[in-house]
Chains A and B, each alone.
Chain A
């Protein structure tokens, strides 16, 4: 008995060998990881990686085809009702009532969860004050950023212990994205466990720990720092050359391990250790000399993701972008 209680408190979310299929599509191929209480955990992966399926299984909305999952110590199938009482859920698509005003939506969700707006006002106050001037406006007439804030308020209205956020920042402008993550940071300080999915690699660094997922498989689970530090080779950023022709030229070279475009710079790794100086001369050989700058840089999550995704082999898809 004592053991199960300890186990229940040890993890807020725990999944083991979780499987999900939709017809012929193998959406989740045996995922395992766990999230500690109070952690801000990121699910990082491109569209179609299985993020939404995973969140819906944890949110008791979809049944897994195999494996085990528990939230706050409750098994997701058997005890789904207990989980629904304690979780907050913000779906990927804006799903509030568009014909109700901000105030009405909030009151409705408060009533549905058997609470009132006043009771947990403290928790949502910081977010709510930003949309309060528009409280009598219908949700359908709000901007994308305000919709997200309202949806977050509604998901928080019953003071949940765990919060599932499915791509909360997709389709939101850069400023609102930043604000949203600041809000998540403040919620974390209130002890709420959060599982956030996002296709934006740069948001990984804002999480305590992340799971990189790709085609229903976990590539890596760790802190963003540890993942970045674990990048296997020296990484160089090349700036000042025409990105497209540089990519083509470097890809054709047999010394190249990986080469990807990042905005106006190109990230390069070689198969065998290479110094910045010899890379510079290698570039000169190919006619990229004028104004081209080479700098050894620290790998970011996207570099790591690409490295893991390619399994060490050359990955050329980025060139076409």
Chain B
């Protein structure tokens, strides 16, 4: 035990004396959550739009007001003719142009139908799509109100009520926090562990450790324990920041969430050890961790892109990525407040991964130099 503690102490010295390691361990998680929380977001706020309104009647005014009144839009320009639409979009002044046909209000009153043309700048397809949807929804809502007012209850109305559950404001940060926890845990546990073991090999200190009476399991435990602690601290920091700065709820049991996190940390640590059994230098360990772990974790886990939208082959590959299952677990616990019974399947899969990685890495760890 004394041996183990002495070894852990030494590992902490390494961590706290290397500014790069410290930066990755503590700077990166905080920077990432702030970046994802504030800068990188799918939400649209105050997008500029241009209005072409040759009719200028009550109804077009009302619709325009309604659009601008939302937090999504801001009036960029009133256009005098249709040709200007092209100009303002090219000049990047507006993201969307809303065009009413001449005599809009009149036609609407008389025929019950009139045309609005909505043109969006699709150089950024996601934004364009979202803007289209927003304005359609707003205009549709206006139309229904008008019809309801006209019919005065004589016609049966179908009112469609939609609600976005668990994240009513569609906040990106709700998705990013679980994703970030996953990535940071992977980064700290797997990448940092593999690099720190590879460093011992590279600098020759592993040779001395092997020449000592320490058992491989003692060496491994001594190496990973500090990273388990740091991972837990990191995860807590992200949760706290998410909760207090971005209002991401933790609806479910904190205990269950912690246990699942520890399970994921252990599986990531085993992956790190596994990498270090192959990698002889820090550089190789870093490359394998980035290419083999970080990229799939970021791209294929459903964090960045929905798994359902992926090509079939990638969907299949995503099954062998532990992070995929962990993100589902974290999202369910944090946002939906799921009990264990609702996420037992994912948990069992994650447990299976952990046991598998543990067994393989224990088998592959050498008691001699290779």
Contact = CB atoms under 8 A, between A and B. Distances in A.
| A, B assembled together | yes
Interface of A: 56, 59-63, 80-81, 84-85, 87, 89, 91, 93-100, 104, 107-109, 111-114, 154
Nearest to A108: B10
Nearest to B6: A111
Contacts of B369: 56, 61-62
A80 B367 contact: yes
Contacts of A56: 369
Contacts of B203: 95, 97-98
Given A61-B369, A111-B2, A95 B7 contact: no
B35 to A, nearest CB: 31
A84 B218 CA distance: 15
Closest 7 CB pairs of A and B: A111-B6, A95-B204, A89-B211, A85-B213, A99-B17, A61-B369, A84-B213
B6 A91 contact: no
B14 A61 contact: no
Contacts, number: 74
A112 B205 contact: no
A151 B220 CA distance: 23
B204 A97 contact: no
24 contacts: A61-B207, A61-B368, A61-B369, A80-B367, A84-B211, A87-B211, A91-B204, A91-B207, A91-B208, A95-B204, A96-B208, A97-B10, A97-B203, A97-B205, A99-B18, A104-B10, A107-B6, A108-B6, A108-B7, A109-B208, A112-B6, A112-B212, A113-B212, A113-B213
Nearest to A97: B205
B208 A95 contact: yes
B55 interface: no
A19 B6 CA distance: 38
Interface string B203-226: 111011111111000000000000
B18 to A, nearest CB: 7
B7 A111 contact: yes
Contacts of B207: 61, 89, 91, 95
B16 to A, nearest CB: 10
A60 B368 contact: yes
Contacts of B244: none
Nearest to A90: B208
Contacts of B6: 107-108, 111-112
Interface in B176-219: 203-205, 207-214
Contacts of B56: none
Given A61-B207, A89-B211, 20 more contacts: A60-B211, A61-B210, A61-B211, A62-B368, A89-B207, A89-B208, A91-B207, A96-B208, A99-B13, A99-B14, A99-B18, A104-B10, A107-B6, A111-B3, A111-B7, A112-B7, A112-B214, A113-B212, A114-B3, A114-B213
B77 to A, nearest CB: 61
Contact of B205 (A61, A95, A111): A95
Contact of A81 (B7, B9, B209, B213): B213
Contacts of A107: 6
A59 B369 CA distance: 11
Interface in B2-28: 2-3, 5-7, 9-10, 13-14, 17-18
Nearest to B9: A108
A81 B216 CA distance: 11
Nearest to A105: B10
